[in-house]
């Protein structure tokens, strides 16, 4: 296994050539081979007293430069495509490859130096978070639910309101109606409970004239449930809710105190 030996400030003959090219501000694609060869040989002569084993690679490069220098004096060879071949092309390719790896090594060294001061902490999760379980399984809750079914439920609620659109008066413009308050709606629910001891939640919502009244009706049912006047039940998920009156509507008091905020 060869042991790399650093000679002065150069790692090898290609490193020396790149130094001479940069020093003379030469275009690497158009190397003046005579000038570079002369400077390279001067450096070789200055190292004559060094270990010949270490200098073997430099001597091989010197022979390569002299060969290219001689070929530059001869007429250019033409390849199969009819283009003149440049004797320096192979050397340029080797220099570009060496330069690429050289600067890649600089980048890796910089990253290694930066990584020395970086420390990573392993992820730690508290036991109470690891042991937490959802109170309701979302998969069971949404099993069988589809967009088509949601759309069907939505359409069934607002169908009656859409059917009430007057084809003539609707062209006159938007007519604003005074919406019912929560207290008024609860009084209406009291009157409705006198005639209907048990009724459908969906039916009572579809009987409303607007979306705002649907919301107020829903809130009034919640308040009546809270006061203990009605009871609701549903056999299965997404089934219609049945509302049952459990107290005498004539005894319902304090229904007018729910003023809108």
> What pLDDT is stored for residue 73 in this prediction?
82
CB-CB contact of 246 with 228 (8 Å): yes
pTM recorded for the entire structure = 0.38
- CA dist 40 and 61 (Å) reads 9
Instruction: Check whether residue 18 and residue 100 sit in a common domain.
Output: yes
Instruction: Check whether residue 111 and residue 46 sit in a common domain.
Output: yes
| Per-range mean pLDDT, top range of 152-161, 167-176, 205-214 | 205-214
Instruction: Check whether residue 90 and residue 161 sit in a common domain.
Output: no
Instruction: Identify whether 4 is part of a domain.
Output: no
CATH of the domain at 200: 1.10.10.580
CB-CB contact of 243 with 200 (8 Å): yes
Helices marked H in the chain: 13-23, 33-46, 52-73, 89-115, 127-130, 138-142, 147-163, 182-195, 201-206, 211-226
Instruction: Identify whether 50 is part of a domain.
Output: yes
- CA dist 166 and 179 (Å) reads 19
Q: Domain total for the chain? A: 2
Of 192, 205, 208, nearest to 245 by C-alpha is 192
Band (pLDDT 50/70/90 cuts) for residue 173 is low
- CA dist 216 and 7 (Å) reads 90
- CA dist 184 and 190 (Å) reads 10
Instruction: Check whether residue 185 and residue 95 sit in a common domain.
Output: no
Instruction: Identify whether 142 is part of a domain.
Output: no
- Give the dihedral of Cα atoms 38, 39, 45, 51; nearest 10 deg: -120
Instruction: Check whether residue 106 and residue 21 sit in a common domain.
Output: yes
- CA dist 192 and 117 (Å) reads 76
Instruction: Check whether residue 162 and residue 239 sit in a common domain.
Output: yes
CB-CB contact of 192 with 230 (8 Å): no
Instruction: Check whether residue 100 and residue 19 sit in a common domain.
Output: yes
> What pLDDT is stored for residue 76 in this prediction?
76
pLDDT digits (tens, 9 = 90+) for 211-222: 888 888 888 888
Beta-ladder partners of 245: 230
Instruction: Identify whether 59 is part of a domain.
Output: yes
> What pLDDT is stored for residue 3 in this prediction?
39
> What pLDDT is stored for residue 5 in this prediction?
39
The boundaries of the domain holding residue 207 are 156-166+179-251
- Burial classification of residue 72, based on how many CB atoms lie within 10 Å of its CB (0-12 exposed, 13-18 middle, 19 or more buried): middle
Instruction: Check whether residue 106 and residue 27 sit in a common domain.
Output: yes
* Mean pLDDT of the 248-254 span: 79
- CA dist 68 and 59 (Å) reads 14
pLDDT digits (tens, 9 = 90+) for 73-100: 888 777 777 777 888 888 888 888 988 9
């Amino acid at each position: 296994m060869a042991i790399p030996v650093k000679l002065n400030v150069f790692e090898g003959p290609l490193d020396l050539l790149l130094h001479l090219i940069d020093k003379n501000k030469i275009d690497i694609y158009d190397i003046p081979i005579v000038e570079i060869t002369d400077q390279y040989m001067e450096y070789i002569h200055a190292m004559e007293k060094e270990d010949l084993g270490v200098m073997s690679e430099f001597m091989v490069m010197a022979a390569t430069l002299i060969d290219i220098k001689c070929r530059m004096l001869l007429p250019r060879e033409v390849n199969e495509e009819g283009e003149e071949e440049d004797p320096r092309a192979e050397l340029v390719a080797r220099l570009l490859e060496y330069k690429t790896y050289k600067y890649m090594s600089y980048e890796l060294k910089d990253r290694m130096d930066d990584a020395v001061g970086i420390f990573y902490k392993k992820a730690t999760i508290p036991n109470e978070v690891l042991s937490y379980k959802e109170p309701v399984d979302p998969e069971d809750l949404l099993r069988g639910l589809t967009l088509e079914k949601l759309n069907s439920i939505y359409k069934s609620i607002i169908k009656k309101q859409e059917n009430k659109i007057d084809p003539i008066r609707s062209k006159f413009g938007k007519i604003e109606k005074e919406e019912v308050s929560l207290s008024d709606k609860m009084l209406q629910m009291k009157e409705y409970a006198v005639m209907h001891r048990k009724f459908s939640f969906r039916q009572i919502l579809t009987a409303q004239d607007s979306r705002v009244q649907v919301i107020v009706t829903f809130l009034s049912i919640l308040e009546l449930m809270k006061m203990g006047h009605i009871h609701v039940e549903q056999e299965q998920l997404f089934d219609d809710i049945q509302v049952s009156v459990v107290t005498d509507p004539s005894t319902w008091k304090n229904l007018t105190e729910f003023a809108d905020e």
